[in-house]
Amino acid sequence: MSLKVMNLTGGYTRTPVLKNISFDLADGELIGLIGLNGAGKSTTIKHIIGLMDPFEGQIQLDGKTLKEDPSLYRKKIGFIPETPLLYDELTLKEHIEITAMAYDVELSTAMERAMPLLDKFRLTDRLEWFPSDFSKGMKQKVMIVCAFIIEPSLYIIDEPFLGLDPIAIRDLIRMMELKKAEGASLLMSTHVLANAQRICDKFVIINNGEVYAKGTLNELREEFGMPEASLDEMYTELADKEGFLK
């Protein structure tokens, strides 16, 4: 079992944003975290990567919590944030270097892993560029490259498709599927439900800081009695019916 989120309650101040969230993510599995703006997806992610401390509950990665072995725990996670966060003063190449340094990957290995990705994203000529020279989509690509060169066992990707061009979206999906086939687990939060339906094995639907439903597409269809519905149809219908918007 790769990632285990157990009864997670947490938030920014004393009032919890997340209430009793539980789900598991197995090796070689891709879970889509679905929910409206402000539902608690990013907050859940922040707890998993260790930027926030749970009020209650536990998060285990391969049986260990962050507190038990912070270094090992963090090494297993590759994180791609929703808005690209890069160092203003470092070039693209140096972003790869510093990532390699931080995650104890040999520099030559890191570059070897990076080159095909850079090639795919048409960034090979831009190794000397600064983030300020990049468009939003390019920055996102740099984030993706940096996460993939550490070859973590858990990929956490917050809104991966925003700002990417269609070719890059296709390539990213292929890369994610490849990693999945190699046995890595992936947790992805997204609003692009069509893509999510295509690639995710399971879904965790979060509303108002709680897990509203979880399971495979078929399990969800069964649970809500909508046998033919797409994820998109199901989600909007549920949101209307259950008053998610309130």
Partner 1 sequence: MTIKDLFKTRQSIYYKKMSKYLKYVMNDHFVILLLFLGGATGLAYQNYLETIQLNAVLPRVLLLLIIGLTIFSGSLRTLVEPADAVFLLPKEEAFNLVMKRNLTYSLIFHSVYTLLIGVLAAPMLRAIGHMDSEGTVFWLLTLVIWKAVHGIHAYYALKQHRNETGRIIRSIILTVSLLAVAVSLFLSILTGFVFAAVTLVFFAFFVFRYTQNERWNWELLIETEQRRIQKIYGIINLFIETPQSKHKVKRMKILDFLYALPLLKENTEIYFLSRMFVRNYNFSGLYLRLLLIGSIAIYFSTNWITHSIISGLFLYLTGFQLIPLRQTFRKSIYFRLYPDTDTDKIKTIQKLILLLLSGSTAVYSLASISSGSQAVLRLLLINSVFTVFFTTVYLPGRLKH
Contact residues for partner 1 (CB under 8 A)?
Answer: 49-51, 70-75, 77, 79, 81, 85, 87-91, 94, 97-98, 101-104, 128, 130, 132
Dihedral of CA atoms 229, 184, 40, 12 in degrees, nearest 10, equals 180
Q: Which amino acid is at 129?
A: W
Q: How far is the CB of 101 from partner 1 (least distance, A)?
A: 5
Instruction: CB nearer to partner 1: give 109 or 216.
Output: 109
Q: What angle do the packed helices 136-149 and 166-181 form, to 10 degrees?
A: 10
56 alpha-carbon distance from chain centroid: 22
Within 8 A by CB and 6+ apart from 55, the residues are 9, 10, 11, 16
CB of 59 to partner 1, least distance (A): 15
- CB count, 10 Å around CB of 60? 17
Pick the closer one to partner 1 by CB: 149 or 217. 149
Among residues 29 and 158, whose Cβ is nearest to partner 1?
A: 158
The least CB distance from residue 192 to partner 1, in Å, is 24
Nearer to partner 1, 99 or 185 (CB): 99
Nearer to partner 1, 102 or 178 (CB): 102
Judge whether 2 and 185 are in contact, CB under 8 Å.
Answer: yes
The answer to whether 41 touches 62, Cβ cutoff 8 Å, is no
Report the nearest approach of partner 1 to the CB of residue 167 (Å): 28
> How many CB atoms neighbour CB 8 within 10 A?
25
Name the minimum Å distance from CB 99 to partner 1.
Answer: 9
